[in-house]
Structure 1
Amino acid sequence: MPAQPLSDTPTPGWRYKGPIFDADTHLYETPEAFDVYVPAKYKADWGLNYRHADDGQFALHVGNRKVEISADYMTEDFKIPPPGKLHEWLRAQKEGKAEVDMRVPITPTMTDPAERVKVLDAWDVRSSMLYCGNFVSAISYLDEPDPAYAILNAYNRWMLDQWKFNYQNKIFTCPVVTLADLPQAIEQAKWVVANGAKFILMPMGPFNGKAPAHPDHDPFWAILNEAGIGVVFHVSEAIYLKDHMAVWGEPMQKSRLRQTAFMWMHGYSERPVIETLSSFVLLNFFERFPNITLISAENGAEWVPSMLVKMDKVRGMAKNGYWPGGQLKERPSKIFKRHVKIVAYPEDDIGQIVAQTGDADWLLMGSDYPHSEGVEEPRIFADEACKDLTDEDTAKVMYENGMKMAGLPL
């Protein structure tokens, strides 16, 4: 029988009562995560650590550099914003109560796979994808290839120890991989495959002045293609836009709680994810590597319909132009929907998105647990986002699309 919700009695009235595949969950790092495997020569200048900055804020640091976007998120006694309560937390912060009334301790369900499985079972989440915790805020600070690989590889080894990359087919943990240096990226790809990764996480944007899907990077992708690896682009600071933002007077790597609406609109989410995903489609990447699935997580889905229309249009406009990966044999929109999956926001109008694109086969749900921005439990996603969908499409978004993507039986 399916497990019941965490309350003493089942909660009636759910929009969707079936099993769930959760495509957006997170861990919180345990104390040794940022240190245990870091080579000694990189610890002083590149090691990650929490401490009070010169301005008194408690923040994550990369060496001596304060990770601004981490400030004000976690307290020095390692309490965090409550899962699924972003609006309440922001309101409490505005009233000066966030540190007193709304912070909660990190629990074993956020740090230990066996404990996480108990929660997943209680919510009838059959399988889930797991991404890094506070580490994601520091990735843009790893801006030199050799130290970056040293820190990333050390973190990935900790993830493997703590969570495994495939924990009982219930939790697929995503190691962090970068194409900043092709030979080292190839070694990373071999290592994650050898250690059972089903999905990996990559920063959005170009690498070394080239699209990630550029044919020069094909030796890296060939390894992932043979293993059928899925590649996740999770919302994060798209540092490749740093120079562009500067001409607008918008410095990057600032506190998320204090940055402007313009930065939220253009430095995160839609712009970098559209540029990144369209580069794969328009460079004919999937003709060469049909076994790779791309996943966008926590970037929402409202931008997809207009992106598909635009890609189909520019294919015709560029018909006689230069195609580095060769001419496309199909409409870009058709290629996208076959090879790309998008984790929607619970506030997205998924009914309208499906009506505009023609189907729900490329959409996934994500709870963002245990972050405050998400929903308190996964089933709420259907109540908020799937209210205008048919039961058949709701089941696809909440469960079937994710299970098929992971190669698991329904």
Structure 2
Amino acid sequence: MAGQQTALKSIDNTAPVYDGPIFDGDTHIQEKDYSFFSKYLPEKYHREWLPARKRGEDGKFGLFVGETCVQNADIREDGKIPPPGKLKEWLMAINTGIAVDASADVTLDMYERDARVAKMREFGVDGSIMFVGEFVATFGVLGVLADQKGPEGMNAVFHAWNQYLVEEWGLNVEDRVYATPILALNDVDWAVQEAKWLVENGVRVVVMPMGPVNGKAPADPAFDPVWQVLNDAGVVVTFHVSEANFMHPLIELWGEKPMMSRREGQTAWQWMFCYSEIPVMMTMASFVYWNFFERFPNIKIASVENGAEWLPRCLYKMDKMRGMARNGYWPMGQLKERPSAIFKRHCFVVAYPEDDIRKIVEDIGTSDCILMGSDYPHAEGVAQPRDFADEALRGMSEEDIRKIMFENGRRMLPKGRTGLPG
């Protein structure tokens, strides 16, 4: 990119040492506590909707929404977290018997704005998208409660989170940290007003739950008033890995229970079919097949922390099924080009560092839609964003490495823009 210098060296021609700027597509807040919810969530919602760490009636400590325990939130009462980027090392230690510290203190940069900006500078990160932390585990419970009680309480919780970001972080911090407020489509009128308020406060990227809403695809024209607001402002829409509530009936049909503890109750079958890859494939393919990007060409969509191994097969199948359905029903009209071409132009995918990214790029014929993500400060990613190149991009061309480590993300979220993207 113009004005950016990227230095790339190599070790035995396979392990890149990337010295250029970084765009990190997946970072997180690590919530130190939830006291801000008491401040921003109106008191009338506290009993049934207030997120908090506490002990339930059974004496078990956990993350709660009101009095409902979030079973799939794995948190510690002492506030310790797994060390950033150390999951693989910790898992290897279990097999070898070598002692590895499995806990770390939450540091200031994980929950405070100025310290986070300083940490990104230290890491050489030019731009980063910052998502919710353990609060993402509440999405499933909030969705279930919204189905039972109506969306008003859920909307209030999401707005409280969004207000916390606006007032204590800012939605665009020096073009280096882009915080992600939450939007849900359950109540279109609320979503339109929330989207307008976010745009007024400089939003660049939002995160939304995956899947259908109220029995409709998210690209159904019923939701067009929301999309129009985001399109006019050129906002990026992300789908971060989280509980996919629309898969719950499927889980129950197979005789299993949804939203169970990931350590004690979530089965391998659920991990394989109901979490991450398949829900996000269904969601993103729906946008393409519903001709969403012809109506809203200024919106870009990104899959985050769902890996990228699914991408080649998904693009191939999207093209093939377009042919199979050529004489079928197209809700918003037949596509004018291959679904894969539409996807590559409008959609991005944050890869895992353990993905075979070189093969993925070879299979889809481009690196233009692939982003790196460190997952900082979580344990599952890499300890520092620059480690991603060494771990995930071995044997790739300098051009592809530069695109994945920086240029694709910066193209998705250009600097200094509050309106339409370039």
TM-score by length of 1: 0.92
Letter paired with 2:412: M
Post-superposition CA distance 1:270-302 (Å, at most 9, x none): 110000000000000000000000000000001
The one-character-per-residue Cα deviations of 1:329-364 (angstroms, maximum 9, x if unpaired) are: 110000000000000000000110011000100000
Among residues 362, 371, 377, which one is paired with 1:370 in the alignment?
377
Q: How does 1:234-273 map to 2 (within 5 A)?
A: 234-258=240-264, 259-273=266-280
Q: TM-score, normalised by structure 2?
A: 0.90
Q: Residue 330 of structure 2 is aligned with which of 323, 342, 348? A: 323
Query: Which amino acid letter does the alignment assign opposite residue 146 of structure 1?
Result: E
Match of 1:64 in 2: 67
**Distance in structure 1 (CA, Å) of the matches to 2:261 and 2:378:** 17
> How is 1:243-322 mapped onto 2 (pairs within 5 angstroms)?
243-258=249-264, 259-322=266-329
Q: What is the CA deviation profile of residues 24-75 of structure 1, one whole-angstrom value per residue up to 9, with x for unaligned ones? A: 00002243233211111110011111112355442100111110111xx332
Q: What corresponds to 1:170 in structure 2?
A: 176
Structure 2: where are the runs of 5+ without partners?
A: 5-14, 417-422
| 1:212 partnered with 2:218 | yes
Alpha-carbon distance, 1:89 to partner: 3.8
Q: Which residue of 1 aligns with 2:10?
A: none
1:44-55 alignment to 2 at 5 Å? 44-55=47-58
How many angstroms apart in 1 are the aligned matches of 2:206 and 2:44? 27
Distance 2:311 2:300 in 1: 16
Question: 1:210-242 CA distances to partner (integer Å, 9 max, x unpaired)?
Answer: 010111211110010000000000001101110
Shift of 1:408: 2.7
Cross-structure match for 2:41: 38
Counterpart-to-counterpart distance in 2, 1:336 and 1:87: 32
Q: How much has 1:313 moved relative to structure 2?
A: 0.9
Query: 8 Å contact 2:16–2:393 — kept in the other structure?
Result: no
Q: Which residue of 2 aligns with 1:23?
A: 25
**Aligned residue in 2 for 1:74:** 75
Q: Which residue of 2 aligns with 1:147?
A: 153
* 277-286 vs 142-151, greater mean Cα deviation: 142-151
CA RMSD of the aligned region, Å? 2.0
SS in 1 for 2:400: helix
- 2:181 counterpart SS class: coil
Alpha-carbon offset, residue 101 of structure 1? 3.8
Q: What stretches of structure 1 move > 4 A for 4+ residues in a row?
A: 90-98
Q: Which moved more, 1:385-394 or 1:49-58?
A: 49-58
* CA offset digits 1:70-89 (Å, max 9, x no partner): 1xx33222111111111344
Residue identity opposite 1:112 in structure 2: E
What are the ranges of 5 or more consecutive residues in structure 1 without an aligned counterpart?
Answer: 3-12
CA contact (8 A) 2:56 2:67 kept: no
**Inter-partner Cα distance in structure 2 for 1:255 and 1:189:** 33
Q: Distance in 2 between matches of 1:241 and 1:386?
A: 33
Q: Write the letter of the residue equivalent to 2:413.
A: A
1:181 to 187, 205, 208: 187
What's 1:102 paired with?
102
SS in 2 for 1:142: helix
CA contact (8 A) 2:205 2:236 kept: yes
